Amino acid sequence: MQLTALDLTDFRSYRRLELPVRPGITVMVGKNGQGKTNIVEAIWYLATLSSHRVPHDAALVHRGESTAVVRASFVRAGRPLQVDLEITPGRSNRARLQGQNVARLRDLLGEVRAVLFAPEDLGLVKSDPEGRRRFLDELLFEIAPRFAAVKADFDRVLKQRGNLLKQMRSMRRGRSGRSVGGLDPAEAAASTLSVWDQQLARHGAELLRARLHLVNRLRPHLGYSYLRVATDEGAEQALDLPPDQRGSVDSPADIRYRSAVLDALGTLPGELPTTLEIHDRMLAMLGEGHDEEIDRGTNLVGPHRDDLEIRLHDFPAKGYASHGESWSLALALRLASYDLLRLEEGDLGDGEPILLLDDVFSELDVHRRERLGRIITGASQVLITNANDTDIPDSLDGEIHLIDVTLGEAVPRTGGSLP
């Protein structure tokens, strides 16, 4: 798919922006703090309903205003697509698709397909599992939006069950509860906990299996993408391998989905247990762990505790990979996501996702910069933010459209492009 126009009202630093966007490679050039990242953030928000920089919407609205509006026009599968989103912190956001109100905001997921690589992605390698789980879920929702509802149901059950565990911990510590329907408070709580166990295992098994299936599909693209980023030979366009040949590439980079439930099942890398097998094992582990969960007052079993383990030379990359290797791994994860959508999901009529590169070239050494340029040349649409023209790699072939960004304004450069 391709973005053709982006209109922002009171979004971040933009009081009003009307920006036409062309196919191919577009570079937004401007000094730091001028609003380049705000543009790609708006596009990413349409794709994922979240920001890659902040956890809450309040920072997205121009100071002194109550609502920000993002309007975007796309071409998807040869047809026009119009998406409008109103962001109002403290209230429910509202969206329109093709001019029609969207009943639930999450129904917007899957309509806009994009892949974003940003400096924050270094945390995928170096930081806590939460960011890696979010990475998987964002990609999963782009491919199969229905899992957003599964995740919402799981989060609801997790919260309710966690509250109950805290109450049961208080009872165990001698704080009596009130009788419920003539039942002893502890017996009533235990009965309710069993109900929540069933719900958590039901939604948790579905989410866990979907993530595992995604990781199994992503693995060959990740190993191959790492070689393309890390070696000059791998980045050559002539060595672009089809998906069915990427699994045979000998790469030092690998990913695994780590879960206590899968460990208990004895699942090997690349295997995919049934949803029922995962459900039954998870339910059994929930029952076995009641005492510890009550003592700690928290949920200890489920996909909320899982991790995407990133490995290099068969060692966990966190704490092992150098700074440059960590950047290559993070970039490879995003390029693998891009290729998965581009090559394996294109039969849905969506075509290529939009590739967003936020201040990437300044974070890469000259070799990785040139390799990345060779890899993305020929992509249907790439939007890049950059502080200056000189960081644009020579390996980017063809026409490059330039947009000059100053505080509150983004204007296509006169003459339009670099040769």
- Mean predicted confidence (pLDDT) in 193-214: 97
Last residue of some domain: 297, 326, 345?
345
Express each pLDDT in 314-343 by its tens digit: 999 998 999 999 999 999 999 999 999 988
Confidence of residue 256 (pLDDT cuts 50, 70, 90): very high
161 and 56: one domain? Answer: no
> Within a domain: residue 376?
yes
Domain containing 311 equals 129-345
174 and 249: one domain? Answer: yes
Query: Phi and psi for 377 in degrees, rounded to 5?
Result: -60, 130
Alpha carbon of residue 65 to chain centroid: 28
134 and 95: one domain? Answer: no
Express each pLDDT in 93-115 by its tens digit: 999 999 999 999 999 999 999 99
Measured distance CA(65)–CA(83) in Å, rounded: 22
Last residue of some domain: 318, 345, 372?
345
Nearest to 42 by CA among 82, 87, 79, 74: 87
**Percentage of residues of the chain with pLDDT beyond 90:** 75
Q: Do 284 and 239 meet the contact criterion of CB atoms below 8 Å apart?
A: no
Confidence of residue 275 (pLDDT cuts 50, 70, 90): very high
> Within a domain: residue 118?
no
| pLDDT above 70 for 238 | no
Express each pLDDT in 281-321 by its tens digit: 999 999 999 999 999 999 999 999 999 999 999 999 998 99
Measured distance CA(255)–CA(333) in Å, rounded: 9
Can you give the CATH number for the domain in which 85 is found? 3.40.50.300
411 and 334: one domain? Answer: no
Number of domains the chain is built from:
2
State pTM to two decimals: 0.91
296 and 196: one domain? Answer: yes
73 and 160: one domain? Answer: no
What pLDDT is recorded for position 38? 96
Taking all residues of the chain, what is their mean pLDDT, rounded to a whole number?
A: 91
139 and 243: one domain? Answer: yes
- Mean predicted confidence (pLDDT) in 262-285: 97
What pLDDT is recorded for position 205? 98
285 and 372: one domain? Answer: no
Element (H, E) at 26: strand 24-29
> Within a domain: residue 124?
no
153 and 217: one domain? Answer: yes
What pLDDT is recorded for position 178? 58
> Within a domain: residue 121?
no
What pLDDT is recorded for position 183? 64
Q: Do 35 and 62 meet the contact criterion of CB atoms below 8 Å apart?
A: no
- Mean predicted confidence (pLDDT) in 353-380: 90
| pLDDT above 80 for 184 | no
> Within a domain: residue 268?
yes
Last residue of some domain: 305, 322, 345?
345
Can you give the CATH number for the domain in which 198 is found? 1.20.1050.90
Alpha helices (runs of H) in 16-104, residue ranges in sequence order: 36-48
290 and 307: one domain? Answer: yes
63 and 87: one domain? Answer: yes
> Within a domain: residue 122?
no
> Within a domain: residue 357?
yes
> Within a domain: residue 123?
no
164 and 96: one domain? Answer: no
| pLDDT above 90 for 34 | yes
